[in-house]
Protein backbone atom coordinates (compact mmCIF):
# COMPACT_ATOMS: atom_id res chain seq x y z
CA UNK A 1 0.00 0.00 0.00
CA UNK A 2 1.59 3.21 -1.16
CA UNK A 3 0.15 5.75 1.26
CA UNK A 4 -2.28 4.48 3.82
CA UNK A 5 -3.06 8.04 4.92
CA UNK A 6 -4.99 8.45 1.67
CA UNK A 7 -7.62 6.32 3.43
CA UNK A 8 -7.48 7.77 6.96
CA UNK A 9 -8.89 11.06 8.21
CA UNK A 10 -8.52 12.71 11.61
CA UNK A 11 -10.95 15.56 12.13
CA UNK A 12 -12.09 16.84 15.52
CA UNK A 13 -15.59 17.25 14.10
CA UNK A 14 -15.88 13.57 13.12
CA UNK A 15 -16.13 10.89 15.83
CA UNK A 16 -14.44 13.21 18.37
CA UNK A 17 -11.23 13.27 16.35
CA UNK A 18 -10.70 9.52 16.27
CA UNK A 19 -9.04 8.25 13.09
CA UNK A 20 -11.70 7.14 10.61
CA UNK A 21 -11.83 5.85 7.07
CA UNK A 22 -12.27 8.93 4.89
CA UNK A 23 -15.82 9.87 3.97
CA UNK A 24 -17.21 7.54 6.67
CA UNK A 25 -17.69 7.47 10.41
CA UNK A 26 -16.03 4.04 10.59
CA UNK A 27 -13.18 4.29 13.08
CA UNK A 28 -9.85 2.52 12.91
CA UNK A 29 -10.67 1.38 16.44
CA UNK A 30 -13.87 -0.36 15.27
CA UNK A 31 -12.01 -2.14 12.48
CA UNK A 32 -9.35 -3.39 14.91
CA UNK A 33 -11.96 -4.52 17.44
CA UNK A 34 -13.93 -6.42 14.82
CA UNK A 35 -10.83 -8.12 13.41
CA UNK A 36 -9.68 -8.92 16.95
CA UNK A 37 -13.05 -10.51 17.65
CA UNK A 38 -12.51 -12.91 14.77
CA UNK A 39 -14.30 -11.17 11.92
CA UNK A 40 -12.63 -11.32 8.51
CA UNK A 41 -12.05 -8.52 6.04
CA UNK A 42 -14.84 -10.01 3.97
CA UNK A 43 -17.19 -9.87 6.99
CA UNK A 44 -16.37 -6.19 7.48
CA UNK A 45 -16.90 -5.33 3.81
CA UNK A 46 -20.30 -7.02 3.93
CA UNK A 47 -21.27 -5.23 7.17
CA UNK A 48 -19.87 -1.85 6.12
CA UNK A 49 -20.20 -1.45 2.34
CA UNK A 50 -18.08 1.74 2.34
CA UNK A 51 -15.08 -0.34 3.41
CA UNK A 52 -12.84 -2.31 1.08
CA UNK A 53 -9.75 -4.41 1.60
CA UNK A 54 -7.47 -1.43 0.93
CA UNK A 55 -9.15 0.71 3.59
CA UNK A 56 -8.97 -2.15 6.10
CA UNK A 57 -5.28 -2.61 5.30
CA UNK A 58 -4.79 1.14 5.75
CA UNK A 59 -6.39 0.93 9.19
CA UNK A 60 -4.01 -1.87 10.19
CA UNK A 61 -0.97 0.03 8.90
CA UNK A 62 -2.11 3.20 10.68
CA UNK A 63 -2.52 1.29 13.95
CA UNK A 64 0.89 -0.38 13.59
CA UNK A 65 2.58 2.97 13.01
CA UNK A 66 0.68 4.52 15.92
CA UNK A 67 2.05 2.03 18.45
CA UNK A 68 5.63 1.85 17.20
CA UNK A 69 7.89 2.91 20.02
CA UNK A 70 4.96 3.83 22.25
CA UNK A 71 5.66 1.40 25.05
CA UNK A 72 7.72 -1.67 25.74
CA UNK A 73 6.37 -4.58 27.72
CA UNK A 74 8.41 -6.69 30.08
CA UNK A 75 8.65 -10.35 29.21
CA UNK A 76 9.98 -11.25 32.66
CA UNK A 77 7.92 -13.76 34.61
CATH of the domain at 57: 1.10.10.10
Choose among 20, 28, 24: nearest CA to 50. Answer: 24
- Total domains in the chain come to 1
> What are the strands, taking DSSP E only, across 1-77?
8-9, 20-21
| 3-class SS of residue 31 | helix
Identify whether 73 is part of a domain: no
- 28-36 vs 53-67: helix axis angle to the nearest 10? 100
Q: What is the pLDDT of residues 12-63, one digit of tens each?
A: 999 999 999 999 999 999 999 999 999 999 999 999 999 999 999 999 999 9
Identify whether 8 is part of a domain: yes
pLDDT confidence tier of residue 11, bands split at 50, 70 and 90: very high
> pTM (2 decimals)?
0.85
Identify whether 50 is part of a domain: yes
With beta carbons less than 8 A apart as the criterion, state whether 41 and 60 touch: no
Residue 27: DSSP 8-state: B
Domain range for residue 47?
4-66
Amino acid sequence: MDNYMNFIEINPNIMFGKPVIKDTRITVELILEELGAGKTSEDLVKAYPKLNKDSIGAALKFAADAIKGERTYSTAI
